[in-house]
Amino acid sequence: MRWRFLSISLLIFILLFLTSCVTLPTIPREEYEVLCSAVSASSSVIIGEFGENVPPDFDAVRFMQLVEGRIPASYFAALKKYSLEVRAKVGYYLLLVFDQNTKSLILFDYSCTPAPDGQVLWETTKYDQKNLERYDPCKGQR
């Protein structure tokens, strides 16, 4: 009887813990696909502007300024819906896209590749978000 009570209590605790701590963003598939396309198009614009000489002070504000009017308006609108962070590397950059509500990383992209490198929203367990450098396809190319 006592073990049964403990087992049920433990199960309830685990279920409550899992449902309260996991707050994954909910973004419709079509919207996420537009966001991925916007990231790809933006990367082409930035590389067209700088080539392999992305400035070391390149940031999200400058990123948005450069792509505005140079990518489709729907892509620009998709980018504006999210929090962006740009980390300049030597000659390229890492773009991080975060959900505005949960502050969760939902996508990342190293600018040396044509498509987003990490579709985190769809593959949440695939990426070690504390060590994105391990997914950097640009390392060693510069």
Residue at 77 is within a domain: yes
Structurally, how many domains does the chain consist of?
A: 1
Contact 43, 111 (CB under 8 A): yes
pLDDT at 131: 83
Residue at 2 is within a domain: no
Task: Calculate what percentage of the chain has a pLDDT beyond 70.
Answer: 80
Residue at 18 is within a domain: no
CB atoms within 10 A of CB 141: 11
Residue at 40 is within a domain: yes
Contact 86, 94 (CB under 8 A): yes
Residue at 81 is within a domain: yes
pLDDT in tens, 70-109: 999 999 999 999 999 999 998 899 999 999 888 999 999 9
Structural domain span for residue 93: 28-135
Residue at 15 is within a domain: no
Residue at 112 is within a domain: yes
pLDDT in tens, 2-43: 656 545 554 555 554 444 444 456 778 899 999 999 999 999
pLDDT at 110 over 90: yes
